[in-house]
Amino acid sequence: MIKGKVIALFSAGLIVFSGCLVYTSSLATGKRGLNFDRKGLTEFPAEALEDTSLTSLTLFGNHLTELPDELAQLQSLQVLYLGKNDFSVFPEELCRLKSLRILSLAYNKIDSLPPCLCEMENLEWLYLNNNRLVHLPDSLGKLKKLEQLLLKRNSLTKLPKSIYGLSALQVLDIGYNEITAIDSSLASMKQLRELRIYRAGFLISVPESICSLRFLERLTIDNSVVLPTCIFARQTNRLLIQTTDL
């Protein structure tokens, strides 16, 4: 469950190692992680490459623009936070991290995603919010273990058909984009629990197929978007419909 993973990730013990913060996360199977948040780094820290058994690494709030080829040595890495750096291109070195489960590249300047993204077959959480994405590759639909996909505040005009094949997806956030339509294939996202489409674009209506999402618990949407009448019967049970941003 998503909630359980969040608790695991943040119930970490802290120690000091080589001048940086080190934590042990149960999500990372009890092994050490490194924290280089807000260190003013312009280059990837060499210390992070010394221990190939690392399972979690956070580099939030630095000034990184690229990653070293040697990153591929970290084949045990499961959690990687690269948010709020200066990436303008999705670093393809990430595609070689086969064990990665959680990846955040939020708050960068990335405008496209590479085809090799489909090689990251163990990804469960992918945070790409607050970038400059204008389209998504079809390869995104091959991430069959993906549970959370955050795409808020980009410049997307449509979603690729393949994205509706993400059958394990539980949270989808496409708010603050320029999307004009959602395909009826939305019904294929059978595990979806939370759908955020507030200010997603010039949406006029949502397809009736949304009513077949029996696990849907939260829908965040503009007042002006027309919802199928069947959805209001669902609202009396578990579904919460919000017309304000989160």
Q: Which comes out higher in pLDDT, residue 199 or 246?
A: 199
Q: Per residue in 135-189, pLDDT tens? A: 999 999 999 999 999 999 999 999 999 999 999 999 999 999 999 999 999 999 9
pLDDT range class, residue 81, cuts 50, 70, 90: very high
Q: What is the mean pLDDT of residues 212-220?
A: 94
Q: What domains can you pick out in the chain, each with its CATH number? A: 2-242 (3.80.10.10)
pLDDT at 202: 86
Q: What is the mean pLDDT of residues 125-142?
A: 96
pLDDT range class, residue 233, cuts 50, 70, 90: confident
Q: Per residue in 60-77, pLDDT tens? A: 999 999 999 999 999 999
Q: What is the mean pLDDT of residues 102-124?
A: 96
| Tokens, residue 98 | 């086969």
**Low-confidence winner among 65-74, 127-136, 220-229 (lowest mean pLDDT):** 220-229
pLDDT range class, residue 245, cuts 50, 70, 90: low
3-class secondary structure for the chain?
A: CHHHHHHHHHCCEEEEECCEEEEECHHHCCCEEEECCCCCCCCCCHHHHCCCCCCEEECCCCCCCCCCHHHHHCCCCCEEECCCCCCCCCCHHHHHCCCCCEEECCCCCCCCCCHHHHHCCCCCEEECCCCCCCCCCHHHHHCCCCCEEECCCCCCCCCCHHHHHCCCCCEEECCCCCCCCCCHHHHHCCCCCEEECCCCCCCCECCHHHHHCCCCCEEECCCCCECCCHHHHHHCCCCEEECCCC
Is pLDDT above 50 for 29?
A: no
pLDDT at 236: 58
% of the chain with per-residue pLDDT over 90:
77
**Low-confidence winner among 70-79, 121-130, 149-158, 220-229 (lowest mean pLDDT):** 220-229
In the predicted model, what is the mean pLDDT of the chain?
A: 87
% of the chain with per-residue pLDDT over 70:
85
Is pLDDT above 90 for 2?
A: no
pLDDT at 201: 86
Q: Are strands 102-104 and 79-81 parallel, antiparallel or unpaired?
A: parallel
pLDDT at 135: 94
Q: Which comes out higher in pLDDT, residue 142 or 19?
A: 142
